A and B are shown apart, each in its own frame.
Chain A
Amino acid sequence: MGAGAGKGVFLGARTLSAATTFEPHLVDLDHVSVRGLNHALHALRPSSNMTRWRVLNPGGRHALAVGLDAAVEVEIIGHAGYYCAGMNKLATVTVRGNAGTGVAENMMSGRVRVCGDASQSAGASAHGGLLLIDGNASARCGIALKGADIVVKGSVGHMSAFMAQAGTLVVLGDAGDSFGDSLYEAHLYVRGRVASLGTDCVEMPLADPDRAELHDKLAAAGLAGAVDIADFRRYESARTLYHFHVDNAAAY
């Protein structure tokens, strides 16, 4: 499809930000299939100068901008369905609306921002990059996290950071029940109330290295100075669940 992808309705917005001066490439999903969009994005080479894309009329469609592997910017104007920006590598994907289940799942690098709310399993299994959610995330945010950073400006639902192995989850609002259940080595920071901690998740003091880490994550999300780091509590694994205990040998 290439250049033909831009035959959508032009919205009239001249530029995305002050730093950029050229028009984004438009894809109107009322006229182009999701597969067409994703094929066009997958075809981009590192040298491509088509670095800015704007997707119109997403209509909650699934699998938008998945599997990207180029340092491009994709802006989705409206609500996205399931697995938006899944497996993302290098790209910056912005959803100007809500995102459905599994936004940025298995992200490897890059940056994904949801300007509204995210549904369940946001950032599931993500290995790297930053997922920023301006609104709330529902249940199981950061489930099985493997190294990415997630910053949620609102609250997260129950079972968030379940079995999270590496990376960080920073929540400016509250966390739902069973927070950090069966946690491995991810670092969790919550500014508001935690409804209940999951098995093997414990609160630990906020030491200097933790403050530095939290500051770095907030700064990366553009929130340095927006909130007081001293307001956060830190949670980590008590490490009683995943280390084999010799007293249990008879059970095997």
Chain B
Amino acid sequence: MCGIVGLFAKDRTIERDLGAHLSGMLASMADRGPDSAGFAVYGEGRPGAIKLTLRPPDGGDPDKLLSRLGIPDSSILMRGSHVVLTVPLAAEAQARANLAARMPDTAVVGAGERMELYKEVGAPADVARRFALASMAGSHGIGHTRMATESAVTTAGAHPFSTGPDQCLVHNGSLSNHNAVRRALCRQGFGFATENDTEVAAVYLSARLRAGLSLGDALRGCLRDLDGFYTFVVGTASGFGVLRDPIACKPAVMAETDRFVAFGTEYRALAQLPGIASARVWEPEPAKVYFWERER
């Protein structure tokens, strides 16, 4: 099971309402993944700064967090149980080091100039409401409703997984060779936060992107190196990509209009989007990489 949703805005009105659309899409996939949910939204960033989405164990007191962090010119935004910390790009490494030393229980769930990432255990509609997803704007966003199979129902095991700047991955399916791929990536020096199979796919893609491959080529590598069932939706700073395994084990539907490109595990996720009745609706082909990008 599990449900995936994704929305990529081609015009400003969809950007403004992106969170509201994504929130409805996420809720519609609740019966495919009732145990936890998460989403990443690519909104506005501060020039020259990076946003770290944090999950402090206690929700956190913003003033206390900022003073303990001790990074000048940083700011903080509370959103439900998560905190978005914006620090100058040049201070990212210092901020991460200070977080690890002074607040070791605080997880960094995502980082990027534009991406914010939220996830929690609970029914998808509740998770969306706790983070006020409906009020968020952005150029694109992806979300996931989880029915856990490969690892426990925990916030850390919820999707999306982010293992690179402005990169995130959601996954429907289960990988069978994730332990072997994880060991190979560990030997190359990559770290893992969970035992989750999807995190392996995320790190795999981040490693290949860092090696200079395009997202399309990195996704094509999955067909060779990853074994198991998967429909992946990957977000980057400029767009999103879709890949299904060669036997198309997990369902997927896409829709495109002049105003948006949308992904849903089922058509139900797309049924409320504006102008969907006249959209081009199709099923992405197995083992074929799809990618949409935009100029910023």
Q: Measured between alpha carbons, how far is A64 from B222 in the docked complex, in Å? A: 36
Total interface residues on B, CB under 8 Å, equals: 17
Verify if B277 is at the interface (C-beta below 8 Å from A).
Answer: yes
Which of B269, B272, B281 interacts with A98 by CB under 8 Å? B281
Q: For the complex, would chain A's binding face be called helix, strand, loop or mixed by DSSP majority?
A: loop
Of A112-120, A143-151, A209-217, the one touching chain B? A112-120
Point out the residues of chain A lying under 8 angstroms from B247, CB to CB.
139, 158-159
Q: Measured between alpha carbons, how far is A82 from B266 in the docked complex, in Å? A: 9
Q: Measured between alpha carbons, how far is A54 from B233 in the docked complex, in Å? A: 36
Which of A60, A120, A139, A158 interacts with B267 by CB under 8 Å? A60
B247, B277, B283 pick with most chain A CB within 10 angstroms: B283
Point out the residues of chain B lying under 8 angstroms from A138, CB to CB.
248, 283
Interface footprint category on A: 20 to 34
**What residue in chain B is nearest A60 (Cβ atoms)?**
B267
Point out the residues of chain B lying under 8 angstroms from A59, CB to CB.
267-268, 271-272
Which of A78, A98, A119, A158 interacts with B251 by CB under 8 Å? A119
- Closest CB-CB distance, A140 to chain B, in whole Å? 9
Residue interface bits B251-270, CB-to-A below 8 A is 1, else 0: 10100000000000011111
Cβ contact within 8 Å between A78 and B248: no
Point out the residues of chain B lying under 8 angstroms from A78, CB to CB.
277
Q: Measured between alpha carbons, how far is A116 from B267 in the docked complex, in Å? A: 13
Verify if B286 is at the interface (C-beta below 8 Å from A).
Answer: yes
Residue interface bits B271-296, CB-to-A below 8 A is 1, else 0: 11000010001110110000000000
Q: Measured between alpha carbons, how far is A60 from B281 in the docked complex, in Å? A: 12
Cβ contact within 8 Å between A117 and B282: yes
Q: Measured between alpha carbons, how far is A82 from B269 in the docked complex, in Å? A: 13
Cβ contact within 8 Å between A60 and B248: no
Known: A117-B283, A120-B248. A60 touches B277 (CB 8 A): no
Point out the residues of chain B lying under 8 angstroms from A139, CB to CB.
247-248, 286
Residue interface bits A77-114, CB-to-B below 8 A is 1, else 0: 01101100000000000000110110000000000000
Among B165-206, those with CB < 8 Å from A are: none
Q: Measured between alpha carbons, how far is A58 from B272 in the docked complex, in Å? A: 11
Minimum-distance CB pairs A-B, first 8: A60-B267, A59-B271, A60-B268, A79-B267, A60-B271, A138-B283, A139-B248, A98-B281
Q: Which residues of B contact A (CB under 8 A)?
A: 247-248, 251, 253, 266-272, 277, 281-283, 285-286
A-B contact sample (14 more), CB < 8 A, given A59-B267, A60-B268, A119-B251:
A59-B271, A81-B266, A81-B267, A100-B251, A100-B266, A101-B251, A120-B248, A138-B283, A139-B248, A139-B286, A157-B248, A157-B286, A158-B247, A158-B248
